[in-house]
Structure 1
């Protein structure tokens, strides 16, 4: 699979590179977060990250004043496994090099299946911040260097990806809701409990 760069024109359909933020303290604080060697850990909200001055700037400039959460996704991963989307953009700040496997929500079929041959891969270099648009299908990043793994900051509207506090339906798009503001389409090979297995084709491995 061709690995493109987030600075390429082809990324514009999925998101954009963010400029004009000082992420130096955020990147430094992320050095203290755990890094699994053979798994992926996602934490939606981390108090130490949300207390940094850049958090207020992200809240106001990137999310127009909406309450936000700042967490992380760290680990080692080589597979697609699933794709998710939100009703809002997501901001990722790469602490180390990482690869995103992404697609377009517009390519999801009426029955909520998706052909993985349409997935594209993009390198997010260490220190780079990107906005991933709400219509972009995405999931856990993939590892560039097996010996180093990846650390990626994840910024979203507050309570996104947290536990559901309401019942969800069993039909249509409702089947995809697995957490607050999270719609997930899984690959059957990933064996994600309770998920809708709508990814068709190869479970892409880098």
Structure 2
């Protein structure tokens, strides 16, 4: 049985994020139509053509409080959870197509850093919707609703999700989750992740 998909307007979404209004994103959506749409999933952290758009500069000034950001995309075809990640800050997602986000709460990670996928909920993000995904929200690649795939703008603080410098030593258990810069990740054994990923999601590898 597939995962129940709730509307982003459902009050349940408030535990994970909020809809952001007031930004004129038509130029950004148009530019996203030029980005690749592979059969699997591709993520590009920083795209200069997107970052140069006035609305992205406005978001850097207002949404991120004048902190430097990177604007990239996550595009492709996906129906499964596969993993859950979190950052030390909110992430802005802009749906350039209809898409579904599978979300959970960092607070439900156990002290030994396992996580039950049964705690997660799925939400439909309609095309043209801007959402803030809170820092404590577990998330991963969006899922597509149409066979043509999904396109999603991803805005994060500069440097996030880029290659990690190996740690000199582990200070505590959470360090084993650090997968990229500002990216802590827990994988599912069926998620197809690299051997370096920490596998700690129990339960079903959720699918919509």
Say whether the fold is shared (TM-score over 0.5): yes
Q: Deviations over 1:72-122 (max 9, x none)?
A: 000000110000000000000000000000100000000110000011000
Stretches of structure 1 that go unaligned for 5 or more consecutive residues are none
Aligned twin of 1:84: 85
Q: In 1, distance between residues paired with 2:165 and 2:84?
A: 22
Aligned twin of 1:111: 112
Deviation at 1:168, TM superposition (A): 5.9
Aligned twin of 1:189: 190
Q: Deviations over 1:118-149 (max 9, x none)?
A: 11000000010100000000000001011x10
Q: In 2, distance between residues paired with 1:191 and 1:124?
A: 25
Secondary structure at 1:121 match in 2: strand
Deviation at 1:7, TM superposition (A): 1.2
Equivalence map 1:102-181=2 (5 Å): 102-146=103-147, 148-167=148-167, 169=169, 172-181=173-182
2:37 to 35, 38, 47: 35
Distance 1:40 1:113, change over 3 A: same
TM-score with structure 1 setting the length: 0.97
Deviation at 1:166, TM superposition (A): 4.1
After TM superposition, where is structure 1 displaced by more than 4 Å over at least 4 residues in a row? 168-171
Q: In 1, distance between residues paired with 2:184 and 2:165?
A: 15
Q: Deviations over 1:19-57 (max 9, x none)?
A: 0000010000001100002x0000000000000001111
Deviation at 1:165, TM superposition (A): 2.4
Q: In 2, distance between residues paired with 1:13 and 1:190?
A: 25
Query: Is residue 189–residue 203 contact of structure 1 (8 Å, CA) maintained in 2?
Result: yes
Aligned twin of 1:59: 60
Count of residue pairs the alignment pairs up: 204
Q: In 2, distance between residues paired with 1:51 and 1:135?
A: 29
Stretches of structure 2 that go unaligned for 5 or more consecutive residues are none
